[in-house]
Amino acid sequence: MIPRWLLTALLLRPATGLAKGGFAATKPKKKTKKAPKAPKPLEPLPPGLDGVPPVSRFEVLNADGVAPQFAGAFLIEDESVADDLVKEFHERPQLRGMVSNAANGEPVVDTSVKDSLEMSFPANDPSIAWRRYLLSLKAAMGLYLEDYPYAGAYGAFSITGRTNVQLYPPSGGYKTFHTERTGRGEPEGSRHLVFMTYLNDVTDAGGTEFCHQNLIVSPKKGLTLIWPADWTFTHRGVPSPTQEKIITTGWSRAASKSVAHAPGAHWSISAQVQFHVAFASKYTVLRLLLLFLRAGDFFFAGLFLAGFFAGLRRGFA
């Protein structure tokens, strides 16, 4: 018979486990997390195709003869970049363009709103056509950040989702005004900059109309537009009555460690702009510190000083 004092001690002891057939505590098993498998490295691009295709700024003017702010236009000068994407499009399965999802998750197709055939490239697609386009897009995005450096002042961003290739038949298009971010939910909530490249020339209408900019851009093969994802750049497609139009379009998003990024499509702000942002941050803290001191709140002033110097040590301020 187990003495009462021993039974009480055993019951009160915070055991981590019991061995089979007895009261002895067993050592807890350590749970080991399996490291995710690293993606297979891509093969180098073939010689002659491994360089960055030339990209230059391109002027687009609105009806008033003015180049709208924050709308970047860049020309991929090597037409084979666009031609190879079109070839990939025709060799892969395509779907009707959807305008939304129904309550049951089924795609909603309404050709009176959007009439298109579409396929998409995942961010890490290994095809040569996609990777060459990505090099061109990276060059265009670099020029955009030169023109608007604060577009990258609030953290790195990259391509993490799928990039669409869309073919609009004669009289087709995304005919209603829309914007690329309409709420906080994903996948829209983290969209930062939109990019779109025309993959063919269209000479009979077929452009892209930006509502608030009083701007219609005519499709030119290789012409790449970059603009912010919000309502300020509400836009729609202008159908061509006689010609088809084909584009590629997608979004750069706020970078996340939990998703795969397109290789080479990760952008961040320059060191110069980082300095300006850091200086503004320090200046704000000092202003708040002076306000607390003037009000006699020495306790909060001390907290601010402690946080400020801790930030300096960590490189956050």
Residue 116 and residue 172 in contact, taking contact as beta carbons nearer than 8 Å: yes
Distance CA 122, CA 262 (A): 8
Give the DSSP letter of residue 311: H
Q: Is 3.40.1190.20 the CATH classification of the domain at 55-269?
A: no
Q: In which order are the strands placed within the sheet that holds 208-210?
A: 215-217, 208-210, 235-237
Q: What is the mean pLDDT of residues 40-53?
A: 82
281 pLDDT above the threshold of 70: no
Distance CA 123, CA 197 (A): 16
Over residues 175-222, the pLDDT tens digits come to: 999 999 888 888 888 899 999 999 999 999 999 999 999 999 999 999
Burial of 249 (0-12, 13-18, 19+ CB in 10 A): buried
Task: Determine if residue 36 is left, alpha or beta; phi over 0 gives left, psi from -120 to 50 gives alpha, anything else beta.
Answer: beta
pLDDT grade for 48, boundaries at 50, 70 and 90:
confident
User: CB under 8 Å to 62, separation ≥6 — which residues?
Assistant: 68, 213, 214, 215
Distance CA 108, CA 227 (A): 27
To the nearest 10°, report the CA torsion of 9, 15, 19, 20.
80
Over residues 91-117, the pLDDT tens digits come to: 999 888 877 777 777 778 888 889 899
Residue 261 and residue 160 in contact, taking contact as beta carbons nearer than 8 Å: yes
276 pLDDT above the threshold of 60: no
Can you give the pLDDT at residue 77? 97
pTM for this prediction? 0.70
Over residues 138-151, the pLDDT tens digits come to: 999 999 999 999 99
Can you give the pLDDT at residue 283? 44
280 pLDDT above the threshold of 50: no
36 pLDDT above the threshold of 90: no
Task: Pinpoint the alpha helices (H) of the chain.
Answer: 4-12, 79-91, 128-147, 271-295, 298-314
Q: What are phi and psi of 257, to 5 degrees?
A: -75, -15
pLDDT grade for 85, boundaries at 50, 70 and 90:
very high
Tokens representing 171 are 């009289």
165 pLDDT above the threshold of 90: yes
Domain boundaries, the chain: 55-269, 273-314
Distance CA 316, CA 251 (A): 28
Q: What are phi and psi of 57, to 5 degrees?
A: -65, 150
Cα 184–193–205 angle (5° rounding)?
A: 110
Over residues 3-22, the pLDDT tens digits come to: 555 445 444 555 444 444 44
